[in-house]
């Protein structure tokens, strides 16, 4: 004899089946997490593909770069070696959007940089690229602190900029030199101010053109150590072009630029 259920209760046999609880196996979750990190890293990469550059002359086009391709992710430092006139500075200028290539493509953060107009390129350079040149290019009438703050002017300075500038000067060993003007600084100190200036806007990409070229050996070692630690400490992409094999040896990835082509340096 079947007993009718009491009102408000459900007989176990009449309950709607519940969907089974499923969980992804740990190995699958780990694989998916790894793929997600890889996709994010790929999107955040600087990717130059088949970059070419030539200059017109009376006798025809003069090729400087030929199908240069490289991919560099956040936290990586890359050194590019080559003799004078090999096109190192031209390549650096193209990576920093100061020059347009004759051919090829260039992306950063999954953005096609060659499709940006001049106004957008100027904003990109100011907010996402930090430049360090062989000649520091500091303003002689400004203090070290004021020089570090100069890149904040185009984007409108923020109250916290001065604090960040002092922190950057401290990180390059110049906490007590912020009020000094360039004529009162040594060559190495000027270059360290230039490095702090390159970082003030928290760039994604830092480009250094012969950063130790005008420095004595001991000072070059100090600046080289700062550059070596920069990608990991700031999670930036760093590209250094240099004649110095000593500086280049600090980086795990090294390339040689010869005859307009980029080759992995063994």
Q: Look at residue 247 and tell me if it is in a domain.
A: yes
The pLDDT assigned to 13 comes to 45
Q: Look at residue 102 and tell me if it is in a domain.
A: yes
Q: Look at residue 9 and tell me if it is in a domain.
A: no
Q: How many domains does the chain have?
A: 1
Q: Look at residue 190 and tell me if it is in a domain.
A: yes
Domain that holds residue 242: 65-264
Token duo for residue 152 = 């904040």
Q: Look at residue 253 and tell me if it is in a domain.
A: yes
The pLDDT assigned to 124 comes to 95
Q: Look at residue 130 and tell me if it is in a domain.
A: yes
The pLDDT assigned to 193 comes to 96
CATH classification at residue 181: 3.40.50.300
Series of mean pLDDT values for 10-residue runs along the chain (266 residues): 51 55 63 55 84 94 94 96 91 96 95 95 95 92 97 88 96 95 95 96 96 91 95 96 94 94 86
Q: Look at residue 19 and tell me if it is in a domain.
A: no
Number of Cα atoms under 13 Å in the Cβ half of residue 115: 6
Q: Look at residue 48 and tell me if it is in a domain.
A: no
| Signed CA dihedral, 181, 182, 184, 187: sign only | positive
Cβ-in-10-Å burial (0-12, 13-18, 19+) of 97 comes to buried
């Amino acid at each position: 004899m079947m007993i009718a259920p009491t009102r408000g209760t459900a007989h176990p046999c009449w309950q709607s089946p519940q969907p089974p609880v499923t969980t992804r196996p740990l190995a699958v979750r780990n694989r998916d997490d790894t793929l997600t990190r890889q996709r994010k890293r790929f999107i955040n990469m600087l990717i130059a593909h088949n970059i070419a550059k030539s200059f017109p002359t009376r006798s025809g086009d003069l090729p400087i770069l030929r199908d240069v391709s490289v991919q560099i992710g956040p936290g990586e430092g890359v050194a590019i070696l080559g003799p004078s006139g090999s096109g190192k500075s031209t390549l650096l200028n193209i990576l920093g959007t100061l020059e347009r290539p004759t051919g090829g493509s260039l992306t950063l953060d999954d953005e096609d940089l060659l499709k940006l107009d001049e106004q957008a390129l100027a904003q990109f350079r100011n907010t996402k690229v930090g430049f360090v040149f062989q000649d520091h290019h500091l303003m002689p009438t400004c203090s070290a602190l004021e020089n570090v703050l100069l890149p904040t002017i185009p984007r409108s300075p923020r109250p916290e900029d001065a604090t960040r500038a002092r922190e950057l000067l401290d990180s390059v060993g110049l906490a007590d030199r912020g009020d000094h003007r360039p004529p009162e600084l040594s060559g190495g100190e000027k270059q360290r101010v230039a490095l702090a200036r390159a970082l003030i806007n928290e760039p994604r990409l830092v480009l250094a053109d012969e950063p130790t070229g005008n420095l004595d050996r001991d000072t070059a070692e100090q600046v080289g150590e700062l550059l070596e630690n920069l990608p990991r400490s700031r999670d930036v992409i760093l590209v250094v072009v240099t004649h110095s094999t000593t500086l280049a040896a600090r980086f795990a990835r090294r390339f040689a630029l010869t005859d307009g082509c980029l080759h992995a340096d063994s």
